[in-house]
Amino acid sequence: MPGPLDGVVIIDLSRVVAGPQATMALADLGARVIKVERPGTGDETRGWGPPFAGKSRVSTYYLSVNRNKESITLDLRSDEGRRTLTRLVRHADVLVENFRTGVMDRLGFPVERLHELNPGLVILSITGFGHDGPEGGRPGYDAIVQGEAGIMSVTGPPGTPSKVGLSVADVLAAGNGVAGVLAALYERTRTGRGAVVRTSLLASVVGAHMFQGTRWTVAGDAPESVGNDHPSIAPYGTFRCADGQIQIGVANQGLWRRFAPLVGLDPDDPRYATLPARSGRRAELAADIERALAGDTCEAWLARLGGAGVPAGAIRSIDEVYSWEQTRSQGLVVEVEHPELGPIELPGPPLRFDGAAPRAHTPPPLLGEHNDTVMAWLDEQERSE
């Protein structure tokens, strides 16, 4: 079945993570994504490793964010490359780029020129720190922005700023970019005009601060890292059992009254009877809980807690997640036939429509794999004008 964006054509000038993650999500929804890459080297993530796979050393990093796309090679600093991009723009619905501010202008494709070529073109531009302001043109990779935008200050053990182990700033920016593109496409149905959608890694992280942000902006309380604990809720975090650790989240009084007897505590004990009381004695409470948990295994405690309706979970390694039947039952692993590697598994899309099983996916493309296909399509479009 075609996806909901079937018929939408996207020109993808982006590279690395935030832009390619956004265009992959749009491709998962059925859009045709034409990835424009530099001749010879392509998207720099093609060279990011180890690990690499196969004899031709395919980067697993590149594979993670480029399924369901076509790849063409263009030198955008050459007259021929710019002519081809001009042709693509005329027949596209969306253009995505994550160059530094001013690069598109220098290439000869400022916003005004793009909309002159195609008034209905939706343009998504993703930067590190924003398009203007005192640091608007500053380059920024995910880890840099995690530090600058506050994630590291509230992550990890107390006093040890730590980055999240995933490219979370990139992924947040990609999600915001996808939302902006979809909104702009919808708006175009009313106006006929394509909007310019701008977001950044900085904006996306600050926009996701949630309660950590309002702790400061409203209460004047600057958050600090608390490890795996929750700054406002207890018990909520990681606890040791006889053979490992599990996560437990007791976020309201009803859950507390179910949880406390399981670990030998009186729910009306004045030390722990209310959420503020528990938060104020979190170390003492954690010690009491772990004394009880030490008497049995993680598996036994998860069964006991689950039976009582108390939110709890295992701490799985990445390999365990991909072998977990729940992951596979949700279509979160997809198999594609790679032209060099054969059948490979990739992290799957997070959305379903009408409960349908995930549709068939195409592998991340080889560099320039679709040069002839895309040029033939352009010729056909121009003949039909």
pLDDT in tens, 292-336: 999 999 999 999 999 999 999 999 999 999 999 999 999 999 999
Q: Which residues contact 333 (CB under 8 A, 6 or more apart)?
A: 322, 327, 345, 346, 347, 348
Active site residues: 170
Distance (Å, rounded) from C-alpha 42 to C-alpha 44? 6
> Can you read off the two tokens belonging to residue 65?
């964010």
Nearest to residue 311, comparing CAs of 244, 274, 262? Answer: 262
**Residue 211 predicted with pLDDT over 80:** yes
Identify the band that residue 359 occupies on the pLDDT scale cut at 50, 70 and 90.
Answer: confident
Question: Whole-structure pTM over 0.85, yes or no?
Answer: yes
Confidence check: pLDDT of 250 > 90: yes
What are the tens digits of pLDDT across the range 145-193? Answer: 999 999 999 999 999 999 999 999 999 999 999 999 999 999 999 999 9
* Three-state secondary-structure class, residue 58: strand
**Does position 385 have pLDDT exceeding 90, yes or no?**
no
**CATH top-level class of 236-316:** alpha beta
On the question of pLDDT at 197 being above 90, the answer is yes
Amino acid 31: pLDDT: 97
Residues comprising the chain, all counted: 385
Please tell me the predicted confidence (pLDDT) of residue 357. 66
* CA dihedral for 175, 178, 179, 180, sign (positive or negative): positive
Q: How far is CA 155 from CA 65, 150, 152, in A?
A: 25, 9, 5
Question: From CA 225, how far away is CA 151, in angstroms rounded?
Answer: 9
Torsion of CA 32, 36, 39, 41, to 10 degrees: -90
Domain edges within the chain: 9-208+325-383, 236-316
pLDDT computed for residue 355 by the predictor: 75
Residue 92: per-residue pLDDT: 98
Mean of all residue pLDDT scores within the chain? 96
Kindly report, residue by residue over 42-72, the tens digit of the pLDDT. Answer: 999 999 999 999 888 999 999 999 999 999 9
Mean pLDDT computed over 354-373: 88
- Please say if the pLDDT value at position 358 is more than 90: no
Phi, psi (5° rounding) for residue 80? -65, -45
Cis check for the bond before 270: say yes or no (omega within 30 of 0): no
Q: Residue 129 above 80 pLDDT?
A: yes
CATH of 9-208+325-383, one of 3.40.50.10540, 2.40.37.10, 3.40.50.720, 3.20.20.70: 3.40.50.10540
Single-letter code of the amino acid located at 145: V
